[in-house]
């Protein structure tokens, strides 16, 4: 009989032997499984590879080019070769330009100067609209290095005559042109040198020329009068320096005017600028490029946009082709300048209907604001407050019609004006003078400074406070007296009709205002629903003529 100790040892040996046997058994099973899985996987993989057969796949074939029905591509091929890239270089000089403003803008695309200086894009607001469009270069400090800018243009004569914007080449010391057929940018080769033939700042049009041994492709000018709102148009140019870029849109409006502050002598500098508005994308560098209709003819030149981001927002403006042709023909003449006729008067571009009713020309006409001393109108006896209603028997609708007719007259010729004075029809034969010479000497007189003395008269009805006009101001303006507006209440009748603070009132409803008493007497009789028309003078304005402000009293 075995002892318990021996029995325990035998049992442990048996268990350990069984544990090892179990372990080896499990390992054997796993090994067999792995081997079987490998064989099966290899078998499946081999079968899949055997089933991949791409012998029946057919290669893709690039189709022949297709001509689409919209015709855009055909037009671009036709006119594209005549569209050029213009780049300019200006030597360092002092500049008063101030960056960072938004609004109506125009100008070439300013490039970063060699020293790497740069500035914010966006220069020009509604009052300096015709100074820079798409401005955005660095400061023109003497140490800033040469300034470079990009714009566009188009060839109208195979001998190398090109139309572009004046602001593209204005103040440039060097002008270079690249044709669509010229090689891409080559180091040290800015393009073909160009010379300025003539410029017209009033319409922002310039004519430049490049020398050529062979006839160049040209673009055909169309008649902008035929363009209709809603017509398809293409804008072609070099936005952001990307040459031969095309954008499509429609004619959004015609005969669009852009409000701008008066120039020297109180004369509006934009009265010869009536634009075609389009939603075709126009961006920095598009200035001077053509706006083309579906006949492949130029109906306008891309000139400006309204923007709050220095980029296209769908409101672009193009100078009509009819204006381009008229100005171009004068600029290529012997004098290389534009001559416009004038009779020597100044007037407001827009007036309230109350003014026309008060002065008797509700059916159309232009009321004279001031007369240039010793000018043709003054010599013919015209006076402020005369309402011109016809020229050579043709009725005049408004100031645009008057300017269009008179400006085309040759200096030295005459016209017969029909006008109203105190409601009576009169006529006068008036000579035509050179507009540039006539207004060249008009200066800007400094404004008076005075301490206003407020008056309660007129506050309840008109919303203004006035004081007697000082003798110095009256003498400067050439008036016997009047009252000066010292404050205008926001939202009042005066504010609604645009009667400004600082204006000198000399008449109300054709009754003279010479002092505080006469002013009080007139406004005390004004009643709700009546037309109220003020004759005012602005001491700070150049020229100092009459300004007419009116409306219907609520």
**Residues with catalytic function:** 167, 204, 287
Q: Which two tokens stand for residue 467?
A: 């004081």
Extract the tokens encoding 17: 């032997």
Between CA 381 and CA 391 the distance in angstroms is: 16
> Distance between CA atoms of 15 and 7, rounded to whole angstroms?
13
For residues 302 and 106, what is the distance between their CA atoms, to the nearest angstrom? 10
In the DSSP assignment, the letter for residue 50 is H
Dihedral angle over CA of 117, 122, 125, 129, nearest 10 = 90
Cα separation, 542 vs 551, in Å, equals 25
Ramachandran bin of 486, using left for φ above 0, alpha for ψ from -120 to 50, beta for the remaining angles: alpha
- Beta strands 298-307 and 290-292 are antiparallel
Radius of gyration of the chain (CA): 39
How far separated are the first and last CA of the chain, in Å rounded? 136
Distance of alpha carbon 287 from alpha carbon 168, whole angstroms: 7
Of 97, 173, 172, 111, nearest to 139 by C-alpha is: 97
Cβ(498)–Cβ(549) under 8 Å? yes
Contacts (Cβ under 8 Å, ≥6 apart) of 466? 455, 457, 458, 483, 484, 485, 486, 505, 516, 519
Cβ count within 10 A of residue 108: 32
Contact 501, 488 (CB under 8 A): yes
Q: Transcribe 403-421 into DSSP letters.
A: HHHHHTSPTT-EEEEEEEE
* Beta-bridge partner residues of 37: none
Structural tokens at position 116: 């790497």
Beta-strand relationship, 205-210 and 161-165: antiparallel
Token duo for residue 75: 């037009």
* DSSP track, 256-301: E-----B-GGG-BTTTT--EEEE-S---TT-TT-EEE-TTS-EEEE
From CA 513, how far away is CA 519, in angstroms rounded?
A: 5
């Amino acid at each position: 009989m075995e002892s318990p100790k021996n029995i325990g040892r035998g049992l442990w040996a048996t268990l350990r032997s069984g544990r090892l046997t179990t372990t080896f058994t499990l390992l054997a099973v796993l090994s067999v499984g792995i081997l079987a899985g490998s064989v099966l996987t290899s078998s499946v993989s081999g079968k899949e590879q055997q089933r991949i057969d791409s012998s029946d796949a057919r290669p893709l074939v690039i189709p022949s080019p297709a001509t689409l029905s919209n015709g855009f591509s055909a037009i671009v091929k036709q006119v594209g070769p005549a569209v050029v890239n213009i780049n300019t270089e200006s030597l360092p000089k002092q500049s008063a330009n101030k960056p960072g403003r938004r609004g109506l803008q125009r100008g070439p695309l300013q490039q970063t100067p060699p020293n790497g200086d740069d500035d914010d894009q966006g220069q020009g607001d509604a009052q300096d609209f015709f100074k820079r469009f798409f401005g955005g270069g660095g400061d023109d400090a003497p140490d800033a290095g040469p300034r470079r800018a990009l714009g566009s243009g188009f060839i109208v004569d195979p001998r190398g005559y090109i139309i572009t914007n004046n602001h593209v080449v204005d103040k440039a010391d060097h002008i270079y042109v690249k044709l669509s057929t010229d090689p891409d940018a080559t180091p040290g080769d800015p393009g073909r040198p160009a010379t300025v033939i003539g410029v017209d700042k009033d319409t922002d049009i310039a004519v430049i020329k490049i020398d050529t041994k062979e006839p160049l492709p040209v673009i055909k000018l169309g008649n902008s009068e035929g363009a209709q709102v809603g017509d398809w148009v293409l804008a072609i140019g070099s936005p952001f320096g990307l040459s031969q870029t095309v954008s499509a849109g429609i004619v959004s409006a015609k005969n669009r005017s852009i409000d701008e502050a008066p120039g020297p002598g109180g004369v509006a500098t934009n009265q010869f600028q009536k634009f075609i508005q389009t939603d075709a994308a126009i961006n920095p560098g598009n200035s001077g490029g053509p706006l083309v209709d579906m006949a492949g003819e130029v109906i306008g030149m891309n000139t400006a946009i309204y923007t709050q981001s220095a980029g296209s927002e769908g409101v672009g403006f193009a100078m009509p082709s009819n204006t381009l042709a008229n100005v171009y023909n004068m600029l290529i003449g012997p004098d290389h300048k534009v001559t416009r006729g004038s009779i020597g008067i100044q007037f407001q571009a827009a007036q309230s209907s109350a003014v026309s009713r008060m002065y008797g020309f509700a059916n159309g006409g232009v009321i004279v604001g001031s007369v240039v001393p010793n000018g043709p109108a003054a010599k013919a006896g015209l006076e402020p407050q005369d309402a011109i209603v016809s020229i050579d028997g043709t009725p005049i609708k408004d100031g645009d019609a008057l300017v269009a007719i008179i400006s085309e007259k040759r200096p030295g010729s005459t016209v017969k004006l029909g006008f109203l004075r105190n409601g009576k029809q009169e006529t006068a034969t008036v000579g035509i003078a050179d507009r540039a010479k006539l207004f060249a000497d008009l200066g800007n007189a400094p404004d008076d400074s005075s301490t206003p003395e407020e008056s309660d008269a007129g506050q309840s009805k008109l919303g203004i406070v006035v004081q007697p006009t000082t003798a110095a101001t009256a003498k400067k303006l050439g008036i016997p007296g009047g009252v000066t507006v010292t404050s205008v209440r926001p939202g009042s009748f005066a504010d609604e009709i645009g009667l400004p603070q600082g204006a000198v009132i000399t008449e109300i409803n054709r009754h003279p205002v010479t002092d505080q008493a006469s002013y009080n007497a007139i406004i005390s009789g004004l009643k709700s629903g009546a037309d109220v028309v003020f004759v005012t003078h602005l001491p700070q304005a150049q020229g100092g003529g009459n300004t007419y402000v009116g409306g219907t009293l609520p």
